[in-house]
Structure 1
């Protein structure tokens, strides 16, 4: 019997599961369990009715690390650094969180000043300048023992290039503090730029104990149920075993969103769409990302909750506009949406679980996009009357009726999501009109056509498994490891033997970690004098310069071929591919139009057909205005749009007047 691959994605409101076996796709959606997310994971497995003995692999994406950063609920963490550099974390880059808001402070550092300790030592670009002073090390260890910390980050000057002192400090700490998590910058991020290296290593230490506790708990529950230990999605778009994820906590901050981007790239490519803007609207937030030539883009410039984390991550931009985002009136009487979310408990007012404030879901329910009485996740039954009451209550404060309030909420949420899509397209040098918009998540399909109109996008793709696409992405994710080595040298002075030797060293590590992986060489380059670099493919030394000029022109609109180019870092991506199942759409089964109901489009109530996606099949057509109800989500086809279900299950909508 064929083994089943499971993908389970924990969101803020729902936990999604996809099971793949012999080309068959089984899905499940259950409410998340914020107090212990592993409970939701096991509930989803039980709801899918999958026999434990048939499960060959379980891949998992979660928001544990993200939430710990957002809510500052990580471990009590200390920092050990070179004498005189205790405050690098606090000095940061001296930029302000909001340029014109003089009263707004940047988020506090993850390590308070009283938990930052120093040792006497000094490394320079060429090696040791001052040896590691044993007395200062003993004093730091004693102070740490007295401080009752759960984790320690070790970041010494030039530790990325000459790690001997860092490793010596790490050995002493691990011996003296056996139960304490220790993160060394030479292991977490061996790159130059002191602040980003300090910040990333501090984040790794801060998140490590919390993530390890959660993952070990999940692994125990999975083992008790007879399910294999989970593989954990990294922010870079590949999975690793539990023990590796726990040891690389900072690399799992975007674990959940990364799964969605991997799934979107897969189903988009199957349908012939390789240049995509992905739009994942869930219950708590919306994640958007670019996919170019079928490949998810990665970046090392991510800032999460005010904390720079300079590790390879899928280039995802997140805004707090989800189905559960609460609408409210600010002090000036303006309608606002988010960032607060009703979450899974109590949820939007229409959930009937005690929520009294209207959310985006309430607006969509009142406007007829969602069915009154519809069941979500097996436990929630939508009540339009409750939504109308909450909308009317907020509208009373704004001088609006329930309908005007609902339309306003949708417009405000759409504006926030359009801004997010511009960040990952226009601000990356990409023209959104040259891309298709791939919409998924429980609420993505309801807003996709409106967002496409705002951005001039003519094609919207809604996958059959759109409501659980992040879980699908997890189930098909490759095993992946990322490696980096600093190599700061003018490109025209690169020694070929040294260049190949450094890549060879990383490739040996990759072989030790993954056996016989597929390898992809990359490099960070910049024009001399620039502060930031771009990552390009490094198939050969000769192609680096041309590749960098092209990448710079694509990102910034110009190239400077008369300027010297510098090599900054060498990178290696090692992957072990997993089998990707075929996705074939069956023929239609019966009449798709189940009923008609009234829905509001731009202030006008229209009676529109409601199509059941389960009855549609290859070649089925839809013409807007219409509503298509998927198993786990809903798609609103606005007037002027129409489309067809393709051979791999994507509902492809085109703007008819475009």
Structure 2
């Protein structure tokens, strides 16, 4: 691609690394296999495969799974904790909830900082300020202990540091001066909010992930410099990008970096087609991510738990399940088919890849059922083999008394059930009726399962974007620069002074103006009814209408409201963004016959009989092109299965709009 200004978005998935290049409204895509041992190599392979000339690149936005994987696999840095004397075990005590309520033998995942690496200092802050001064002798002892522990990172979490950070800053200053090679995270910088456990947990995660993320991102920046492209901008979990140094200093805010890009892309493409209320469904090679989009805006939460670690930072409200194209099918002790959580990933991949994988996956089932063509080439180098898939399915079937066809149908049904449950979590369990939403499906495998999921949920509309196979990368390429700020303000809403609220928002806006160039501001507030232990975040807007907006939001989320109950203000939040130019996607008229042949595929839930169905080439379709199910539409990087009873039309922005029973 040539052009004066090319924006790149590169998303690293478990199986493939996707790229989108945008220039003057044109869109170029590339897909290459991921490189799990060094994700940065896959990023640069994608840039090379795109054909983009390096001097034309003005921005490279990147979403990755480095932080997520480090948490899941517990492969972060060796981390210490420095805290107030007497509060060494806050991380261990946690909350009273358990991972499995009735399984007394099941324990929580291990803490990120073991007890022998938690050290204390004598000091005490209270709600009104200093109660006991910081003891410099104990601070020296803590620094010596951290040095002797040979750690790579240290988290500093003192009581009431969210309101009175003076002691914590002093501890951080001494640690950074004495141990300049160690990554130091201060809770007053990472999460200046009340609730000790969540603040400790989030700060520990930030320290735990910081060195690993820094090593990866600096390696990537070096490769980008060698290739002549700009240093990457990194997607945060909140749905905006930041420079590399900001991402390193806020490592805990990058744990959902990859999924966030897909939600941003889904919201953008849906809005272009006139659909503001969406359930996004991103099915990749390793997992499936789902999220709700309301009025064109991705929903965020501060209640995310990743690998058993609460991270109380603003994140796109994504629910993830281990049901992807590479999820491995197996039989449990009772002979029931199961899918996941283990994945074949990119290496060795599904049996169909012929790269050493021998266990059947969802991809193998889809290939055997005719949804994917035998001999298809994926990512430029992977060739699918139906024969290898059949062999893997047959071996699994021998153990449960089923033939290959029955196993394939069973795998798809089990995977669909898991994904339907995920969609219910972010819709029904959030007080949303999925029948009032459109299902926007993307990811390499999303289109193959979308119609089945919509039928289960009673949804009437499915959207398959033209760039659906690489929509996460598109979301990255169009993501705004974003920073999130928070100030605690715990008081009754009736007692809050409008002037004090304005002053605190003004402080955050001043900080944002220094961090970003000409940002736009969105004010929000965390509110709750008196006695509740959780909050809802609502748009702050006019202070006078804040209580009414909270009542409305509470009723939508939980199904009831208490208009006469005392409302408490907990936190003030500011979202600062610098918008980037976004392309207007346009679909031209159909210029040639789209039918690329016919193929046998199974749509029979009671058996596995193959039906000859038309196969349409999406490249041959244009604005107004129609399709009637059963049929298969092959996109450049994905496949859409149009089930019987569904009809579709390509709209003006290139989205295939499928509707049921019309």
What's the TM-score bracket when you normalise by the shorter of the two chains? Answer: over 0.9
In the alignment, structure 1 residue 655 sits paired with structure 2 residue 660: yes
Cα distance in structure 2, aligned partners of 1:96 and 1:328: 28
Q: 1:333 deviation in Å?
A: 1.3
Q: 1:589 deviation in Å?
A: 2.4
Q: Which residue of 1 aligns with 2:48?
A: 46
In the alignment, structure 1 residue 605 sits paired with structure 2 residue 610: yes
Q: Which runs of 4+ in 1 moved over 3 A?
A: none
Cα distance in structure 2, aligned partners of 1:88 and 1:379: 50
Q: Which residue of 2 aligns with 1:314?
A: 316
Cα distance in structure 2, aligned partners of 1:17 and 1:491: 47
Q: Which residue of 2 aligns with 1:453?
A: 455
Secondary structure class of the residue paired with 1:493: coil
Q: Which residue of 2 aligns with 1:493?
A: 495
Q: Deviations over 1:513-568 (max 9, x none)?
A: 11211100000000000000000000121011000000000000110011000000
In the alignment, structure 1 residue 256 sits paired with structure 2 residue 258: yes
Q: Which has the higher mean CA deviation after the structures are superposed, 595-604 or 33-42?
A: 595-604
Cα distance in structure 2, aligned partners of 1:631 and 1:121: 61
Cα distance in structure 2, aligned partners of 1:150 and 1:652: 51
Q: 1:496 deviation in Å?
A: 1.8
Pick from 301, 304, 317: which aligns with 1:302?
304
Q: Matched residue pairs, number?
A: 657
Following superposition of structure 1 onto structure 2, how do residues 264-413 of structure 1 map, counting pairs within 5 Å?
264-413=266-415
Q: Which residue of 2 aligns with 1:116?
A: 118
Cα distance in structure 2, aligned partners of 1:612 and 1:102: 54
Following superposition of structure 1 onto structure 2, how do residues 156-305 of structure 1 map, counting pairs within 5 Å?
156-305=158-307
Pick from 619, 625, 637: which aligns with 2:624?
619
Q: 1:2 deviation in Å?
A: 2.6
Following superposition of structure 1 onto structure 2, how do residues 34-183 of structure 1 map, counting pairs within 5 Å?
34-183=36-185
Pick from 23, 30, 34: which aligns with 1:32?
34
Unpaired stretches in structure 1, ≥5 consecutive residues? none
Cα distance in structure 2, aligned partners of 1:439 and 1:50: 28
Cα distance in structure 1, aligned partners of 2:81 and 2:546: 38
Q: Which residue of 2 aligns with 1:416?
A: 418
Cα distance in structure 1, aligned partners of 2:39 and 2:638: 22
Q: Which residue of 2 aligns with 1:556?
A: 558
Pick from 594, 603, 628: which aligns with 1:592?
594
Q: Deviations over 1:234-281 (max 9, x none)?
A: 000000000100110000000000000000000000000000000000
Q: Which residue of 2 aligns with 1:571?
A: 573
Q: Which has the higher mean CA deviation after the structures are superposed, 175-184 or 94-103?
A: 94-103
Q: Which residue of 1 aligns with 2:507?
A: 505
Cα distance in structure 2, aligned partners of 1:422 and 1:157: 38
Q: 1:645 deviation in Å?
A: 0.3
CA RMSD of aligned residues (A): 0.6
Secondary structure class of the residue paired with 1:442: coil
Secondary structure class of the residue paired with 1:492: coil
Cα distance in structure 1, aligned partners of 2:422 and 2:137: 52
Secondary structure class of the residue paired with 2:574: strand
Secondary structure class of the residue paired with 2:293: strand
Cα distance in structure 2, aligned partners of 1:401 and 1:102: 39
Secondary structure class of the residue paired with 1:211: helix
Pick from 631, 634, 641: which aligns with 1:629?
634
Secondary structure class of the residue paired with 1:594: strand
Cα distance in structure 1, aligned partners of 2:638 and 2:289: 16
Cα distance in structure 1, aligned partners of 2:591 and 2:41: 36
Cα distance in structure 1, aligned partners of 2:577 and 2:9: 18
Q: 1:22 deviation in Å?
A: 1.1
Q: 1:405 deviation in Å?
A: 0.3
In the alignment, structure 1 residue 638 sits paired with structure 2 residue 656: no
Secondary structure class of the residue paired with 2:534: coil
Cα distance in structure 1, aligned partners of 2:96 and 2:90: 11
Cα distance in structure 1, aligned partners of 2:64 and 2:501: 37
Secondary structure class of the residue paired with 2:644: coil
Q: TM-score, normalised by structure 1?
A: 0.99
Q: TM-score, normalised by structure 2?
A: 0.99
Cα distance in structure 1, aligned partners of 2:17 and 2:103: 38
Q: 1:498 deviation in Å?
A: 1.2
Secondary structure class of the residue paired with 2:289: strand
Q: 1:94 deviation in Å?
A: 2.1
Unpaired stretches in structure 2, ≥5 consecutive residues? none
Secondary structure class of the residue paired with 2:160: coil
Cα distance in structure 1, aligned partners of 2:282 and 2:370: 21
Q: Which has the higher mean CA deviation after the structures are superposed, 311-320 or 581-590?
A: 581-590
Following superposition of structure 1 onto structure 2, how do residues 424-503 of structure 1 map, counting pairs within 5 Å?
424-503=426-505
